[in-house]
Structures are given as C-alpha cells and as structure tokens.
C-alpha cells in the first residue's frame, strides 16, 4: 500500500493542481510579474471558455462518447448572443439564458444523431461540426460582433479578490453543480456506468441511450454558456470563433483525467486541466518561447497525460474499442 | 456483445452504385446550372486539381481507419511537407530534392506515430491528437514569418500541369488509389489490416504481426500526407503552414462517406475514391456557383449525416432480420441490442 500522499497524487485533479502550483512557482521565481493580480486574473479569465467546453466534453467522454462539435457550438452561441447584445442591448442574464438555449438546441442535434439514430459519436459530431461551422458563417453573414458594452466585458477584467476575476466566480457554480451531478445523482452515476460498460449498465436497467442522449444535451448547454463567457472575455466574435477549440477542449478534458475509454473522469479534472493548459501556455510565453510553439505545448501535455495514465494503454483500449462497437 | 456467430456487418450492397449515380447526377446538375462548371469539356478534369490532395490524404486515412485506428495528424503533416518542400526550393534546392525531403519528413513522422500507437499501445486518437498539435507548431516554425512562395515552374507543374488534358494531380491520385486498392485487396498486408480492424484478438491469435502492420499503415499514411503536401505546395505555388490542416475533416468525411467502417474491419477503397470525387465535385460546383467555402462545409456535413443515417438504418434493419432468423434457430443466444 503506497503512502497516503502517493494515493492522493493518483487522483488526477489533485496531481494537476500540484503541477499548476509548480509551474506558477517556477514562473514567479523567474518573472515576479507572473504572480501579479493582473496576470493571474488574465490566466483565469482565459481558461474559463475552455473550462466550459471541457466540462461538457467530460460528461460525453465519461459516457464513452466524443463531441467534436463543442467549439462550433460555442462559436455559434457567441455569435447569436453577441449580435443581440450589440444590436438590441441585451443584458447579461437574458444573454446567458439565450446562450444556454442555443447550446441546448445544438446539443439536441448531436443527441438525436447519437442517441436516437445511433450513429457512431465521432461520425455524428464530425457531421454536426461541419454543419454548425457553416451556420456560424450563415448567421454572421459577413459581419462580426465587436462592440460589447463594458458592463459585460468588465466581468472578465474586474477582480473581486486580487487575481480572481468576476467571471471565474460565475463559472465555479457550474463546475460545482456538474461535479455534484456526476458524483451524487443517479443520472451522474449512470453516466459512469454506461461509459465503463454499456452492456452491464443495460443489464442493470439503465436506459443507456437516454443517458447518452442527455450527456450530449448537457455538453451543448455548457458549450453555449462557454459562448457567452467568450463574449465576456474577448468582447467580440466572428464566423471563425471556436474553430480551434474543439480539439483543445478534448485535450483539456484528457489532461484533467477523463479517459477516452469512458467511465473515468470528473468535473474538477476539467477545471484543473483547463487552468493547467492556460497556466503552462502563459508560462511558456513568459519564458520567451514563441507563440508558434503553443500548440506543441498542448500536444506534449496531452502525450504526457496519456502516457502517465496506464489505463489508456493497450489491453484496456482494445477491449474498449470492441465494447464501443457493441454500444453503437 | 453478440454471442451469435453472425457476420457482424451488413452493407448496403450497392453503396458504390449509389455513389456513382450521385456523382453523375451532380455533374449533370452543375453542368446545366453553372455555365463555367464544365468549361470546354476539360473543365471538369481541371477541377480535380483542387481536391486531388484531399483525395490522397483520404486514401492514407482509409487504410488507417480500416485497422480501427485514426490519424488526426495527417492534415498537419501535409502542411509540414508543403513547408519543407517550399523551404528547400527557396534555399535553391532542386524540385526533386524538395519532393524527396518533404515526403521523407512526413513519412518519418508517420513512422513516429505508428511506433507510439503500436509499441506504447496508446489509442491512436489520443496519440495523433497530440502529435497533430506538435506538427502544427513545427510547420509554423519552419515556415517562419514569411512562408516561401513563388516556386520554379518545374515544381508547380506537379500541381498545375497536365498530360493530354489530364492533370498530373489527378494522375497521382489515381495511381496511388490503384496502389492502395491492390495493397488492401490483394496483399497479405491488406488482409492483415482488415483483420486487425475486424477483430484484433483474432488477428493476434492467427499470428499476424499486429505491431508491424500498424507501424506500416501509419508510415504509409505519413507518406500519403507527404504526397498531398507536395501537391498542395505545387498547386498554390506557396507553402503556408496551415495549407493542409483544413483538409483533415474533408478527408475523414470522404473516407466515412465511402462506406469505410469507422471502427475498422470493413470498407472498400474503391468506394472511398468515389466518395472523394463526389465530395470534390460537390464543393467545386458550389464554389463556382458562388457559394462561400463555409456553406460548402455545411452542405458537406449535411450530406455526410444524411447518407450515413440512411446507410446505418438500412444495415441495422438487415442485421436485425438476419439475427431474428438466427434466433429462431438458437433461441437461447440472444443479442441484447439487436
């Protein structure tokens, strides 16, 4: 039996948090400005969008699915909401509701294809990714959102405590609720059951396809909220918003300990993974590594996370592939 | 999951025929509605230059998907190849050297992917997700602030030239397609790939060199990415570091629309070739008719979803009928999900 601290490090969100602290400490030692309120607030605000996407992706991936379209849903929500804010002076609360609604509608699109029509998730969401990206263009019609009132963008730049932007406080409840749903509700437990072994879950009386259906709706909902967060943080949106975030969201979820093979992961992991990604990328630019290498940073982190995780090794994955085949 | 000794998959018998009909239909439609589409009869052939690189990528990807794996890094790898070719040319290297260097680098990169997937045993989706990011960075870094452009005509001929009105790019695509069809259908490597995709455990027990085959298939995929990258650089006469990255999704779409099973073990390369032509003419026709490239993306997505919904419900229906028949023969072995 390994000592208790070693057991703690086996929990991915704790391990990643420790890694965050190490990166922050090293960067602060090299560049004192790293530990400034402004920089920390920037890092947190920067990670919020990916946190929303990775949260939704975690639901889907724990249930042994994959959602390639979260970035497009986020972008579409940002555009739809952004135009309403820009042209009709919509305030924050209706904006959040509208973003959630857009996300749910698009998420239901995925859910119908995977849960009802039973297309393999990777194919279905690849198709909807194309459709939603195209819709982004149709909706913008060549225009872009660029004037978001400061009453909204202040949420991303103003801090409540030194280093903690308002938007982070607004995001945390969603992380907490997601964690509670996954850990303590019957639905959450059945997501894990379905992801771990759909056959066993089916025999245990869980509505496998209903659970899968709901995970895609939740993923859409959270991505829709991510779109509003994107507006708050960047104060603009265009037809290409979110185009690079699909794979980054999956990367953040994987770094946070969610396994592609299903049944493993959690909401805090998604938060820790997103923050870790942002912190590392910021630290890289503090160390004068060219921005060109930022994608490589993401790639190396994903490789490290996967190699570290023995669960994703051969035997397990091959069995996983076969099971995935059975559940489609 | 099924305990019945059933063949696991049933296919739309005439999927290839459906694709051919669709191609003929769209060619007629675009010729009638858009004046510039057909040109002077050779226009249709010239259009293939635009999507031949996507087709080459799709062929490499088709083999990888046949084994039940996936290569998300092939588009980025094509970008890297294009950038390498461009850099060699701009440093004064000969076109032959540029082509060899570009294809060598992306082949080595494919080998690297293959070794990790086969010997470390990590799911290929994760490996290539990660290496895709890394290669993007390398390509951007090699290209530098001002990516090379304006190559000698000896090089651009590969992407723009033609023999008797048949573009080189199309010829390259067809030659590679023929090679892949022969490899997959008529060689022991091809049979191994199919069996690995169909049932890895059975492949292992029948003494197939799984690791070797997987390494080989990813290396071949890297080679195809290299060819695609060279075609791209030659066609656009420039080597932007994002030049091939956007081709990943169209290539996957073509492979899936071509009836390749995303979980491996079933599919015909010939039908993937047809799907490449179908999607290629569709997008070129729409672009010529004045639609934006993002509307094309949207229509492509709708076509993919529509075609697969039809195909899957048809096959499931067929599967259920057969398993119902089997169930009457062996009433105690039931398939949970039908």
pLDDT tens, residue by residue, A229-246: 999 988 888 888 888 888
| pLDDT score for A319 | 41
Pairing of strands B166-167, B162-163: antiparallel
The CA distance from A179 to A183, in Å, is: 6
Q: Does B313 touch chain A (CB under 8 A)?
A: yes
Q: Render pLDDT for A126-150 as a digit per residue (tens, 0 to 9).
A: 899 989 988 988 888 878 888 888 8
Question: pLDDT over 90 for what percent of chain A?
Answer: 47
Which residue from B163, B164, B159 is spatially nearest to B53, judged by alpha carbons? B159
CA distance to partner chain B, nearest, from residue A312 (Å): 6
The CA distance from B280 to A220, in Å, is: 31
The least confident of A40-49, A73-82, A311-320 is A311-320
CB contact under 8 Å between A302 and B336, yes or no, is: no
Per-residue pLDDT band at B97 (split at 50, 70, 90): very high
Which of A131, A293, A317 minimises the CB distance to B137?
A: A293
CA distance to partner chain B, nearest, from residue A155 (Å): 31
Which residue from A170, A163, A156, A131 is spatially nearest to A52, judged by alpha carbons? A170
Angle between helices A166-184 and A37-62 (to 10 degrees): 30
| Close Cβ partners of B199 (under 8 Å, ≥ 6 residues apart) | B265
| For range B261-267, the mean pLDDT | 87
| pLDDT score for B12 | 53
Tokens of B268: 């015909």
Tokens of A164: 């903690």
Is 80 exceeded by the pLDDT of residue A313?
A: no
Which residue from B262, B289, B296, B301 is spatially nearest to A66, judged by alpha carbons? B262
Q: Does A113 touch chain B (CB under 8 A)?
A: yes
Per-residue pLDDT band at A322 (split at 50, 70, 90): very low
Which of B120, B133, B313 minimises the CB distance to A299?
A: B133
| Close Cβ partners of B332 (under 8 Å, ≥ 6 residues apart) | none
Q: Which of A304, A312, A319, A325 to mutate to test the interface with B (most CBs of B within 10 A)?
A: A325
| For range B108-117, the mean pLDDT | 95
Q: Between residues A5 and B111, which one has the greater pLDDT?
A: B111
Per-residue pLDDT band at A263 (split at 50, 70, 90): confident
Q: Does A22 touch chain B (CB under 8 A)?
A: no
Coil vs helix vs strand at A205: coil
A-chain residues within 8 Å CB-CB of B302?
127, 130-131
Q: What is the residue-wise DSSP string for A244-311?
A: THHHHHHHHHHHTT--TTSS---HHHHHHHHHHHHHHHHHHHHTT--GGGHHHHHHHHHHHHHHH-GG
Is 60 exceeded by the pLDDT of residue B112?
A: yes
CB contact under 8 Å between A324 and B263, yes or no, is: yes
B303, B49 contact by CB (below 8 A):
no
The CA distance from A265 to A66, in Å, is: 14
| For range A1-25, the mean pLDDT | 80
| pLDDT score for B174 | 94
Which of B70, B126, B292 minimises the CB distance to A302?
A: B126
Is 90 exceeded by the pLDDT of residue B122?
A: no
Alpha helices in chain B (DSSP H): 15-33, 35-38, 43-66, 74-90, 95-115, 124-143, 153-160, 168-186, 188-198, 200-205, 210-236, 248-257, 269-288, 293-329
Task: Specify whether the backbone of B235 is left (phi greater than 0), alpha (psi in -120 to 50) or beta.
Answer: alpha
The least confident of A226-230, A279-283, B17-21, B287-291 is B287-291
| pLDDT score for B4 | 40
Which residue from B151, B137, B113 is spatially nearest to B232, judged by alpha carbons? B151
What does pTM read for this prediction?
0.86
Which of A113, A296, A307 minimises the CB distance to B122?
A: A307
CB contact under 8 Å between A295 and B336, yes or no, is: no
Q: From residue B168, give the alpha-carbon distance in Å to each of A91, A267, B181.
A: 57, 52, 20
Cα dihedral across residues A87, A93, A96, A100: positive or negative: negative
Per-residue pLDDT band at B6 (split at 50, 70, 90): very low
Per-residue pLDDT band at B42 (split at 50, 70, 90): low
| pLDDT score for A261 | 83
| pLDDT score for B93 | 86
CB contact under 8 Å between A321 and B68, yes or no, is: yes
| For range A196-216, the mean pLDDT | 93
Q: Return residues 115-154 of A near B (CB < 8 Å).
A: 117-120, 122-124, 126-131, 133-138
A-chain residues within 8 Å CB-CB of B300?
130
CB contact under 8 Å between B1 and A134, yes or no, is: no
A-chain residues within 8 Å CB-CB of B123?
260-261, 306, 312, 317, 320
Which of B121, B134, B253 minimises the CB distance to A314?
A: B121
Per-residue pLDDT band at B47 (split at 50, 70, 90): confident
B125, B70 contact by CB (below 8 A):
yes
Per-residue pLDDT band at A327 (split at 50, 70, 90): very low
Tokens of B156: 């651009």
Q: From residue A149, give the alpha-carbon distance in Å to each of A84, A89, A145, A153.
A: 12, 8, 11, 7
| pLDDT score for A123 | 87
Which of B123, B263, B304 minimises the CB distance to A317?
A: B123
The CA distance from B116 to A96, in Å, is: 43
Which of A199, A251, A296 minimises the CB distance to B336?
A: A199
| pLDDT score for B78 | 96
Which residue from B264, B317, B335, B296 is spatially nearest to B30, judged by alpha carbons? B296
CB contact under 8 Å between B141 and A128, yes or no, is: no
| pLDDT score for B11 | 52
| pLDDT score for B8 | 46
CA distance to partner chain B, nearest, from residue A183 (Å): 26
| pLDDT score for A307 | 79
Which of A295, A303, A318 minimises the CB distance to B136?
A: A295
The CA distance from A52 to A248, in Å, is: 12
Q: Render pLDDT for A98-118 as a digit per residue (tens, 0 to 9).
A: 999 999 999 999 999 999 988
CB contact under 8 Å between A254 and B263, yes or no, is: no
Question: pLDDT over 90 for what percent of chain B?
Answer: 49
Q: Return residues 169-208 of A near B (CB < 8 Å).
A: 199, 202-203
Could you give the maximum distance between any two Cα atoms of chain B, in Å? 73
B-chain residues within 8 Å CB-CB of A297?
133, 137
How many CB pairs (< 8 A) connect A and B?
164
Is 60 exceeded by the pLDDT of residue B10?
A: no
| pLDDT score for B5 | 40
Coil vs helix vs strand at B254: helix
Tokens of B85: 């070719």
CB contact under 8 Å between A129 and B72, yes or no, is: no
Per-residue pLDDT band at B41 (split at 50, 70, 90): low
Q: What is the residue-wise DSSP string for B122-178?
A: --HHHHHHHHHHHHHHHHHHHH-SS--B---HHHHHHHH-EETTEEHHHHHHHHHHH
CB contact under 8 Å between A317 and B121, yes or no, is: yes
Q: Return residues 265-294 of A near B (CB < 8 Å).
A: 290, 292-294
| pLDDT score for B300 | 87
Per-residue pLDDT band at A292 (split at 50, 70, 90): confident
Per-residue pLDDT band at B171 (split at 50, 70, 90): very high
Cα dihedral across residues B46, B49, B54, B55: positive or negative: positive
Q: CA B298: distance to chain centroid?
A: 19
| Close Cβ partners of A61 (under 8 Å, ≥ 6 residues apart) | A195, A250, A253, A258, A259, A260, A262, A265
Per-residue pLDDT band at A316 (split at 50, 70, 90): very low
CA distance to partner chain A, nearest, from residue B97 (Å): 27
């Amino acid at each position: 039996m390994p000592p208790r601290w070693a057991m703690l490090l086996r929990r991915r969100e704790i391990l990643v948090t420790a890694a965050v602290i190490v990166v922050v400490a090293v960067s602060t030692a090299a560049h004192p400005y790293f530990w400034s309120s402004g920089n920390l607030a920037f890092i947190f605000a920067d990670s919020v969008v990916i946190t929303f996407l990775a949260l939704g992706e975690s639901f889907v991936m724990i249930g042994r699915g994959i959602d390639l379209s979260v970035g497009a849903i986020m972008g579409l929500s940002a555009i739809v909401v952004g135009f309403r804010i820009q042209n009709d002076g919509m305030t924050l609360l209706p904006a959040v509701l509208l973003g959630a609604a857009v996300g749910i509608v698009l998420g239901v699109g995925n859910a119908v294809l995977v849960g009802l029509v039973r297309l393999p998730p990777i194919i279905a969401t690849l198709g909807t990714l194309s459709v939603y990206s195209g819709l982004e263009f149709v909706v913008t019609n060549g225009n872009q959102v660029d004037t978001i009132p400061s009453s909204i963008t202040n949420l991303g730049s103003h801090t409540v405590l030194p280093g903690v932007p308002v938007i982070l406080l607004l995001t945390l409840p969603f992380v907490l609720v997601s964690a509670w749903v996954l850990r303590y509700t019957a639905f959450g437990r059945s997501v894990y059951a379905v992801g771990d072994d759909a056959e066993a879950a089916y025999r245990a009386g869980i509505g496998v396809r209903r659970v899968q259906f709901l995970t895609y709706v939740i993923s859409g909902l959270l991505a829709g909220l991510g779109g509003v967060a994107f507006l708050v943080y960047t104060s603009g949106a265009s037809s290409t918003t979110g185009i690079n975030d699909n794979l980054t969201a999956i990367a953040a979820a994987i770094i946070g300990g969610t396994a592609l093979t299903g049944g493993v992961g959690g909401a805090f992991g998604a938060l820790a993974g997103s923050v870790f990604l942002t912190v590392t990328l910021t630290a890289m630019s503090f160390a004068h590594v060219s921005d060109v290498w930022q994608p490589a940073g993401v790639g190396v982190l994903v490789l490290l996370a996967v190699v570290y995780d023995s669960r994703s090794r051969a035997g397990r994955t091959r069995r996983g592939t076969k099971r995935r085949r059975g559940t489609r | 999951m099924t305990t019945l000794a059933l063949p696991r998959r049933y296919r739309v018998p005439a999927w290839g025929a459906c694709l051919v009909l669709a191609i003929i239909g769209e060619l007629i439609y675009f010729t009638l509605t858009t004046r510039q589409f057909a040109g002077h009869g050779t226009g249709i052939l010239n259009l293939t230059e635009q999507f031949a690189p996507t087709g080459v990528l799709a062929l490499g990807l088709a083999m990888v998907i046949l084994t039940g794996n996936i290569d998300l890094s092939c588009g980025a790898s094509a970008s890297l190849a294009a950038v390498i070719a461009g850099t060699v040319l701009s440093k004064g290297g000969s076109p032959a050297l540029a082509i060899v260097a570009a294809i060598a680098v992306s082949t080595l990169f494919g080998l690297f992917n293959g070794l990790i997937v086969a010997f470390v045993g990590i799911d290929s989706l994760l490996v290539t997700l990660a290496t895709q990011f890394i290669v993007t960075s390398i390509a951007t870094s090699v290209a530098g602030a001002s990516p090379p452009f304006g190559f000698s005509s000896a090089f651009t001929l590969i992407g723009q030239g033609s023999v008797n009105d048949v573009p080189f790019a199309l010829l390259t695509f067809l030659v590679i397609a023929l090679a892949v069809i022969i490899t997959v259908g008529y060689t022991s490597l091809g049979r191994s790939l199919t069996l690995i995709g169909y049932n890895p455990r059975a492949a292992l027990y029948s003494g197939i060199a799984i690791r070797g085959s997987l390494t080989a298939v990813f290396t071949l995929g890297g080679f195809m990415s290299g060819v695609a990258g060279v075609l791209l650089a030659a066609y656009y006469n420039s080597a932007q570091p994002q030049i091939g990255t956007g081709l990943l999704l169209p290539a996957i779409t073509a492979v899936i629309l071509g009836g390749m099973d995303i979980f491996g073990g079933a599919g015909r390369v010939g039908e993937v070739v047809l799907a490449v032509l179908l999607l290629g003419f569709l997008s070129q026709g729409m672009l010529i008719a004045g639609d934006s490239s993002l509307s094309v993306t949207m229509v492509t997505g709708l076509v993919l979803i529509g075609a697969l919904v039809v195909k899957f419900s048809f096959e499931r229906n067929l599967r259920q009928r057969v398993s119902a028949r089997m169930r009457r023969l062996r009433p105690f072995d039931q398939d949970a999900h039908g």
